Amino acid sequence: MTDDRRTGLDVTDLESGRAAAALSRPFTVRGLTSRNRIAMAPMTRQFSPDGVPGRDVADYYARRAAGGVGLIITEGTYIDHDSAGTSDRVPRFHGEDAFAGWSGVVDSVHGAGGTVIPQLWHVGVTRTEGAPPVADAEPVGPSGVSLTGEPKGRAMTQKDLDDVIAAFADAAAAAECLGFDGVELHGAHGYLIDQFLWSGSNRRTDAYGGDLVARTRFAAEIVAACRAAVSDSFPLFFRMSQWKMNAYEAKLAQTPAELDALITPLAEAGVDVFHASTRRYWLPEFDDSDLNLAGWVKKISGRPTVTVGSVGLDGDFFGAFAGNGSAVTGVDQLLDRMERDEFDLVAVGRALIADPEWAAKTLSGRTGDITPFGAEMLKTLR
């Protein structure tokens, strides 16, 4: 605890009051109301044997809700399509056994005072050939090429497209039936939906390829199908990114005008909230403005946005893959942006793996008590 000698005020108290004012406000979209502006970012943990989330997964998410997180966005969960996944330890969103597990997650998070939405996922051409959960399923994507341009898998037919669109819609409807508060579509990081959005992986010459607007068609049809499959009170989130796995400098949009062309069809199709994934939330997205990607998407679309990227930590998540930890940092810059309504929610990732009470400690000014992130924490579910 320190004093500001110029004012006699306790600095910790000042920071605590500022964090509480910026982050403790409720957020409402359609029928979902989060008690604050803090979300848990989706992070693949692979602790669901045979694709079924167990009691340990439910407790893992409930601990974060009990620790003050307003909105839990689950790890990516595979839709019901043979080529959707590439691990039998990642949860799936189909089958009675998996749905029973997800029902336990919903009940546990709600019991701890939080709201929760599943992230629906299809990995597309990044699927490892021969991997479970369906070993003989061929990787599929827009053009039968990998993210680095080599031949891989096969280009999707119209039937493939229709089947995947229906699988996303079925999963969204199931999420509402299970009591989730909304749903997020994974359209980022070089997975299937993003493979259609990016010129580097979409080389189609039909209606689903070509210019940027044409490349949004598949994503927009998924959004529209999900919107039609759920009630008016059920919100749709859409996660997007510029970067891709193994293509960290990739860009869907080089300018604000191109970003407008990308997100407008998605908003018109029914996206309620855009989740703009970046590696470091404080970096400006385009020249001549300090707005980050979430800020630009909100400015252009008028839709609420979620920001994410190394919140509360001094290193991005790629360091964790190399075994590196990250020290705790302040959130002053985050608060600056929240106070000017640059975005509406902040998603916290590794900091919440490290400390389930990160939200409560941040809101109450106990940042000195926050546990730093260590890469070894990825090996357990705690």
**Residues belonging to the active site:** 191
Rounded-to-integer distance, Cα 253 and Cα 232, Å? 31
The two tokens of residue 17 are: 């009051």
Rounded-to-integer distance, Cα 375 and Cα 324, Å? 6
Ramachandran category for residue 73: left, alpha or beta (phi over 0 → left; psi -120 to 50 → alpha): beta
Closest by Cα among 192, 87, 79 to 131: 87
Compute the residue count for the chain. 382
Who's near 14: CB < 8 A, 6+ residues apart? 4
Query: Residue for token digits 């406000």?
Result: 25
Who's near 79: CB < 8 A, 6+ residues apart? 92, 93, 94, 120, 121, 122, 164, 167, 168, 170, 171
Rounded-to-integer distance, Cα 77 and Cα 62, Å? 18
93 SS3 class: coil
